[in-house]
């Protein structure tokens, strides 16, 4: 592996990433009943830390325990116990990887069964066809609720810094709250937070600006941004280019490019517009325009599993190559490439007719591997998609009951 992948990378703020492969964020659902990391997440990150990646980005950490992407998620708020987060950061950094906490608010992408808050820029429900009933109609946010969300992102980022994380990645992709503000399909507001792209970007920019003010110049701030929503009339590549230029004015250290949402899960290699997707590095051709113009270092994630493709991403001008699913099955992948450069992970693929269900089954198989690693076991590649989905739904129901009971949620 004597090549570009093993070279270190220096961020704009002077921070050094020891090599150019990142473990991108995945939904883990391995928090304990108090929504904290414990032995399960510690074991999982221990496996990844020993696997050789240069940058580790955690799965979703929520800025509000009443607004979760799923039960079993981690939340970090003003009154959270910081000790387990310190341990998490320490384990992830044991081999000198740089470690970022991904911080997020789901907005309208909160499952109805969870209860809690269901907020959005505008009162527009998710359209998942016959599966739409899994989500309830969101409430359009008031100005006060928007300010509260900004403050929550800042609080979570500050606590991550105190816990020893090198930085945060602010999630503004995949149809979550900040992406909902960016997209004209979900943001129909007529006030200062809606309308023009500048106004739709205001929430993201304000979060970035306030986090930088609170955490200082040496703390890494990254943003996960959709290169496109893959929905007609949605946030597109030209919008992404303009938002990156705006982010550059606020000392952002890296932008990770992804794409899609629950309605068009392009991040799993599926979308409403299949023409834009190839099987591997499926955002690479689409994002070349952004590499040429971006004043911020860019990271590309999406289906990468071969060393040759990872190198192609760096050759295209990306600073960092992000890998997610392949590391769920082969946590030691980066180390393996050093002695077996042609090693190609075999990943299961779910080709069901229903894209939302195929997406859920794919996530369920991945989460099974994360659970295995969290218990000290080896991942497997031959799990049944249907059985994995049923097991995941059963476990999700159990965790949802636990979550609702802990927060005293009786409605919704």
Query: CA dihedral defined by 237, 243, 244, 248, rounded to 10 degrees?
Result: 170
Quote the tokens at residue 234: 């949605």
Radius of gyration, alpha carbons of the chain: 19
According to the model, what pLDDT value does residue 265 have? 57
User: Are 171 and 115 a contacting pair, CB within 8 Å?
Assistant: no
Closest CA to 171 of 59, 4, 277: 59
Distances (CA, A) of 148 to 155, 159, 224, 241: 10, 16, 21, 28
Burial of 214 (0-12, 13-18, 19+ CB in 10 A): middle
251-299 pLDDT, tens digit each: 999 999 886 666 665 555 444 444 333 445 556 776 778 898 999 999 9
User: Are 205 and 246 a contacting pair, CB within 8 Å?
Assistant: yes
According to the model, what pLDDT value does residue 283 have? 63
* E runs forming strands in 159-262: 167-172, 220-226, 254-258
According to the model, what pLDDT value does residue 411 have? 64
Kindly give the pairing relationship between strand 21-23 and strand 55-57.
parallel
According to the model, what pLDDT value does residue 32 have? 95
According to the model, what pLDDT value does residue 231 have? 63
String of DSSP letters for 288-355: HHHHHH-SS-EEEESS--SHHHHHHHHHTT-SEEEE-HHHHH-TTHHHHHHH-TT----------S-H
Strand partners, 90: none
pLDDT in tens, the chain (412 residues): 347 899 999 999 999 999 999 999 998 999 999 999 999 999 999 999 999 999 999 999 999 999 999 899 999 999 999 999 999 999 999 999 999 999 999 999 999 999 889 999 999 998 878 778 888 899 999 999 999 999 999 999 999 999 999 999 999 998 899 999 999 999 999 999 999 999 999 999 999 999 999 999 999 999 999 876 656 667 788 898 999 999 999 999 999 988 666 666 555 544 444 433 344 555 677 677 889 899 999 999 888 999 999 999 999 999 999 999 999 999 999 999 999 999 999 888 898 888 778 888 988 999 999 999 999 999 999 999 999 999 999 999 999 999 999 888 876 5
Distances (CA, A) of 272 to 190, 246, 277, 283, 286: 28, 28, 10, 14, 15
Quote the tokens at residue 57: 């980005």
According to the model, what pLDDT value does residue 236 have? 81
Straight-line distance from the first to the last Cα atom of the chain, in angstroms, rounded to the nearest whole number: 52
Burial of 31 (0-12, 13-18, 19+ CB in 10 A): buried
According to the model, what pLDDT value does residue 113 have? 92
Distance CA 231, CA 236 (A): 9
pTM (2 decimals)? 0.94
According to the model, what pLDDT value does residue 130 have? 79
* CB atoms near residue 360 (< 10 Å): 24
**Per CATH, the architecture of 4-407 is what?**
Alpha-Beta Barrel (3.20)
User: Are 264 and 359 a contacting pair, CB within 8 Å?
Assistant: no
According to the model, what pLDDT value does residue 280 have? 53
Closest CA to 404 of 41, 120, 72: 72
According to the model, what pLDDT value does residue 2 have? 42
- Cβ neighbours of residue 318 under 8 Å, at least 6 residues apart? 291, 298, 299, 300
User: Are 120 and 178 a contacting pair, CB within 8 Å?
Assistant: no
User: Are 226 and 301 a contacting pair, CB within 8 Å?
Assistant: no
User: Are 21 and 310 a contacting pair, CB within 8 Å?
Assistant: yes
According to the model, what pLDDT value does residue 249 have? 95
* CB atoms near residue 133 (< 10 Å): 10
According to the model, what pLDDT value does residue 133 have? 84
According to the model, what pLDDT value does residue 232 have? 65
According to the model, what pLDDT value does residue 261 have? 65
Distance CA 349, CA 346 (A): 9
According to the model, what pLDDT value does residue 226 have? 83
């Amino acid at each position: 592996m004597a090549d570009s992948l093993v070279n270190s990378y220096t961020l704009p703020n002077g921070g050094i990433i020891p090599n150019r492969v990142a473990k991108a964020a995945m939904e883990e659902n391995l928090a304990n009943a108090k929504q904290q990391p414990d032995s399960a997440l510690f074991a999982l990150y221990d496996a990844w830390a020993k696997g050789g990646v240069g940058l580790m980005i955690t799965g979703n950490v929520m800025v509000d325990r009443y607004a979760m992407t799923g039960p079993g998620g981690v939340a970090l708020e003003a009154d959270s116990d910081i000790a387990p987060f310190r341990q998490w950061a320490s384990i992830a950094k044991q081999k000198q990887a740089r470690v970022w906490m991904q911080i997020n608010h789901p907005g309208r992408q909160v499952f109805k069964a969870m209860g809690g808050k269901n907020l959005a820029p505008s009162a527009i429900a998710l359209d998942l066809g016959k599966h739409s009933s899994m989500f309830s109609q969101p409430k359009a946010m008031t100005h006060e609720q928007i300010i509260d969300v900004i403050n929550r992102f800042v609080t979570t980022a500050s606590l991550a810094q105190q816990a020893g994380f090198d930085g945060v990645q602010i999630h503004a992709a995949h149809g979550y709250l900040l992406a909902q503000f960016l997209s004209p399909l979900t943001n129909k507001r007529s006030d200062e937070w809606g309308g023009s792209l500048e106004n739709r970007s205001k929430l993201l920019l304000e979060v970035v600006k306030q986090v930088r003010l609170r955490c200082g110049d040496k703390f890494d701030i990254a943003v996960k941004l959709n290169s496109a929503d893959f929905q007609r009339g949605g946030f597109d590549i030209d919008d992404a280019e303009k938002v990156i230029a705006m982010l550059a004015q606020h000392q952002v250290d890296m932008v990770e490019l992804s794409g899609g949402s629950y309605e068009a899960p392009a991040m799993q290699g599926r979308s409403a517009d299949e023409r834009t997707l190839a099987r591997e590095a499926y955002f690479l051709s689409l994002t070349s325009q952004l590499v040429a113009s971006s004043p911020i270092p860019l990271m590309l994630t999406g289906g990468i599993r071969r060393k040759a493709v990872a190198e192609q991403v760096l050759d295209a001008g990306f600073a960092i190559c992000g890998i997610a699913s392949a590391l769920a099955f082969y946590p030691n992948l980066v180390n393996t490439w050093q002695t077996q450069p042609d090693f190609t992970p075999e990943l299961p693929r779910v080709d069901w007719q229903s894209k939302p269900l195929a997406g859920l089954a794919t996530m369920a198989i991945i989460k099974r591997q994360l659970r295995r690693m969290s218990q000290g076991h080896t991942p497997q590649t031959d799990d049944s998609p249907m059985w994995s989905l049923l097991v995941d739904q059963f476990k999700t129901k159990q965790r949802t009951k636990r979550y609702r009971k802990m927060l005293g949620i009786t409605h919704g």
